Amino acid sequence: MAQTQTEATAGPAPSGAPGAFSLRRLSEIGGVEITGIDLSLPLSARTKDAIYAAFLEHFILVFPGQDLDPAAQEAFSRQFGDLEGNVRRLVPGVLAPLVNLVTNVDDNGNPTETPPTHGNYFWHTDKSYRPAPSLATILHAKLVPSSGGDTQFANTGMAYDALPEATKQRIATLKVVHSWEASRRNTGNVPATAEEIADSPPVTHPLVRTHPDTGRKVLYMGTHTSHIEGMDYEEGRALLRELLEFAEQPQFVFTHQWRPGDVVMWDNRTLLHRAVRNYDMKLEKRLLHRTVVKGTKPV
């Protein structure tokens, strides 16, 4: 495994804040482990810029050994932009909070193999059903199984680059309809309520998206998609399945194995992700805190 060392001076940081951090590359697909930073402390402008540069280059940032309460996680996340609210209601009329739970723990504190929502086990990019979908997702591991419970990432920029030229030409101008309602249907979840549908009506995004910071072309799809605009419904669904199967090939996928205290931040604009049911969900708990940073309209 290749390893690189990068330093970023933190400037006039708060007392106890480190002056530099180190990066260790995790895979060719993407991913670096960053040590030497306490995310509970404010970042200097220089350190924040260095972290964002690593984010653009490596797509997945892993900060081990962190201990953030919800307020600290929200504060860290806000340093990279406004936070995205949720569509899902905990009960009618009550949205999930900005720092929400990704877990198989039920309301009684017990592990379950049938959590209230299970869309995270399907390949997706967060909030693609929004007009301006997510820039970044940040997950903080609080409880993890003794083994398994991994998260996988598929690099859709690499997948696009590997497509035959004829396929690139075929899909170059196609538009895809995304919606919360379609997502619930595709994953076999409880159907979207009228309130949720009104909050997140269908939106259309390009199938081939241009990354706003790097200019790289990527495939933009996943389980939140309904159909391809202007194409026969079943034909469009088949094409989306074909492209998804292509993008989830092992040569495009990185698997993160969680440790308690890990904070993982990833770029939704060039990655699909999913959780993996490779642990005994009836016996072991998995609980992570999630925040999502707003992005821009895909073009």
Domain count, the chain: 1
Residue 8 falls inside a structural domain: no
Instruction: Please tell me the pTM assigned to this model.
Output: 0.90
Question: How far is Cα 9 from Cα 296, in angstroms, rounded to an integer?
Answer: 29
Question: How far is Cα 212 from Cα 136, in angstroms, rounded to an integer?
Answer: 13
Q: Domain containing 117: what range? A: 22-294
Contact between residue 142 and residue 288 where contact means Cβ atoms under 8 Å apart: yes
Contact between residue 17 and residue 41 where contact means Cβ atoms under 8 Å apart: yes
Q: Tokens 């159907």 appear where?
A: 191
pLDDT at 16 over 80: no
Contact between residue 206 and residue 97 where contact means Cβ atoms under 8 Å apart: no
Residue 44 falls inside a structural domain: yes
Residue 121 falls inside a structural domain: yes
pLDDT at 11 over 50: no
Q: What is the pLDDT of residues 79-93, one digit of tens each?
A: 999 999 866 545 455
Pairing of strands 134-143, 151-155: unpaired
Any idea what the CATH number is for the domain that residue 124 is in?
3.60.130.10
Q: What is the pLDDT of residues 98-147, one digit of tens each?
A: 899 999 999 899 999 988 778 899 999 999 999 999 999 999 999 999 99
Residue 26 falls inside a structural domain: yes
